[in-house]
A = this chain, B = another copy of it.
Amino acid sequence: MPVRRRKKTGKSDRPVTSFISTYENKVDRKGRVSVPAAYRSALGTETYQGVIAYPSLIDGAIEAFGRGMLDELNRRKLDQTLDGGDYTQALVGRSDDGLVETIMAISSELPFDGEGRIILPARLTEHAGITDRATFVGRGTRFQIWAPEVYEKHQLAEVEALRARLSGGGIQ
């Protein structure tokens, strides 16, 4: 009887929380949006009830993930610098690509209310062009929040590019 066992890389042993599928929800007059229940349950094991969000550096969208992901980033980054003997980096917090630090700086913590909604800060909705509706897009380890019209166009292009690369047989 074959038993499925986790590989022994020493990496995180818990399953990668994954955000799948897309959902379109309303933004009410108070600026609240329901985070899709499926996403909330993907975050379920985390102590902090809410999400981390920041304006995408590439798309006109909001990037978001759980606190666990942020911790994981920090941990791996720390491991890497210690392994490399670069203690200055670990202690002072300066690195060549300040990306992680930068992300930290521009991120917001968005806690859930009792009904699983978050309030999108104006800074983020303005970046994404979101007004009264928002499209949640699962990206596996993280998710994005788009203005529905903007995402629709983006998604069409994305799928078309993918389709062009495939030569029969579907995706393995």
Interface residues of A (CB under 8 A from B): 2, 4, 9, 11, 15-16, 18-22, 38, 45-47, 52, 56-59, 63, 68, 70-80, 82-83, 85, 87-88, 90-94, 97-109, 137-142, 144, 155, 158-159, 161-163, 165-166, 168-172
Contact of A141 among B78, B162, B163 (CB under 8 A): B78
Do A140 and B56 contact each other (CB < 8 Å), given the known contacts A20-B107, A80-B85?
A: no
**Cross-chain pairs A/B with CB under 8 angstroms, 19 sampled:** A4-B46, A20-B70, A21-B104, A56-B92, A57-B92, A57-B159, A57-B171, A58-B168, A58-B169, A73-B140, A74-B141, A87-B100, A98-B162, A99-B171, A100-B140, A102-B158, A104-B138, A104-B140, A105-B139
Instruction: Write the nearest CB–CB distance from A101 to chain B, whole angstroms.
Output: 5
Number of copies of this chain that the complex holds: 2
Taken together as a complex, chains A and B put the C-alpha atoms of A20 and B171 apart, in Å, by 17
B63–A91 CB distance below 8 A: yes
Contact of A77 among B70, B88, B140 (CB under 8 A): B140
Taken together as a complex, chains A and B put the C-alpha atoms of A40 and B1 apart, in Å, by 17
Taken together as a complex, chains A and B put the C-alpha atoms of A68 and B59 apart, in Å, by 29
Taken together as a complex, chains A and B put the C-alpha atoms of A79 and B72 apart, in Å, by 11
Find chain B residues with CB under 8 A from A93 CB.
58, 139, 142
Instruction: Write the nearest CB–CB distance from A124 to chain B, whole angstroms.
Output: 11
A57–B162 CB distance below 8 A: yes
Contact of A155 among B20, B105, B171 (CB under 8 A): B105
Instruction: Write the nearest CB–CB distance from A158 to chain B, whole angstroms.
Output: 5
